[in-house]
Amino acid sequence: MTRASSFKTAVLTAFLAAIGATGSHAADLTVGANIGNVPWEFQDASGKTVGFEVDLVTEIAKRLGKTVEFVNTPFAGLFPAVQSGRINMAVSSITITQKRLESVSFAQPYYDSDQSLTVTAKSGIAGLKDMGSKPVGVDTGSTGDMWADAHKGEYKLGEIRKFEGLQPAMLDLVAGRIDGYISDIPALLYYVKGKPELKVVERIPTGEKYSIMFNKGDPLATEVNGVITTLKKEGFIAKLHETWFGAKAEDTTSTVAVLDMPKAK
């Protein structure tokens, strides 16, 4: 067994153990989510799971006449969990890629994004050009992880350290155990608000689009896609954007524009 497959097996085993610990699920739809991924899905001060995608999926389930339950799952564990049928769908600002479309399905996207570099304000780092030989953090299995690996030589990045979400990465960044963190720009811009010790210093253009992930060929993906079309036409998703990001979504973005379901080429 390869190291990669061992890791996937360990993640899925942990996920299944968590399922067993909480008993059987009564909800019609079980949704995997990496809770702690602000502002998409995280716990508020009262411990309630909230966020952009939580609101979106909850509304989609309502329109389908179904109940929904969110299951906290590490990002890398979302893929084997949805493919095995242990969850019906997955969210966590998941980027649609051609590689992923080979093994899973996505509904139409609802958010356009890029990657970013976040550092501490006192570091003096102004961008990727200053990251030579310095350790950088990424989220395991994310597009930031893929980008850093593909561009490590170009920017002479130091060790690439992998984390299971934003919170542990931020702890290591503030503590000086890493010098930068590469991840989705909306989450980082949201996170650093009111934190003068942290700074997003560079947007990394990647042209990413987020959506809900399903097992390959699952008819539920088409059903959900239809609801997303309706919610876009009603302005519901645009309103979510204003609620969570404090700004109006541009008409040309996937938050507003109705798009086709992505297909593997």
Q: Are 107 and 120 part of one and the same domain?
A: no
CATH number (domain holding residue 58): 3.40.190.10
Q: Are 17 and 136 part of one and the same domain?
A: no
Q: Are 201 and 220 part of one and the same domain?
A: no
What domain range includes position 222? 3-111+209-245
Sign, CA dihedral 46-51-55-61, equals negative
Q: Contact, 197 vs 174, CB < 8 A?
A: yes
**Domain boundary residue among 207, 229, 255?**
207
pLDDT at 4: 45
Q: Are 213 and 103 part of one and the same domain?
A: yes
pLDDT at 43: 95
pLDDT at 145: 97
Does residue 252 form part of some domain? no
Does residue 82 form part of some domain? yes
* DSSP 8-state assignment for residue 3: H
pTM greater than the 0.75 cutoff: yes
Does residue 140 form part of some domain? yes
CA dist 198 and 54 (Å) reads 26
pLDDT in tens for each of the 265 residues of the chain?
A: 434 444 444 455 445 444 444 444 589 999 999 999 999 999 999 999 999 999 999 999 999 999 999 999 999 999 999 999 999 999 999 999 999 999 999 999 999 999 999 999 999 999 999 999 999 999 999 999 999 999 999 999 999 999 998 999 999 999 999 999 999 999 999 899 889 999 999 999 999 999 999 999 999 999 999 999 999 999 999 999 999 998 899 999 999 999 999 999 8
Q: Are 47 and 61 part of one and the same domain?
A: yes
Q: Are 12 and 135 part of one and the same domain?
A: no
pLDDT at 71: 97
Q: Are 92 and 145 part of one and the same domain?
A: no
The radius of gyration of the chain's CA atoms, rounded to the nearest angstrom, is 18
Cis amide linkage into residue 39, ω under 30° from 0:
yes
Q: How many domains does the chain have?
A: 2
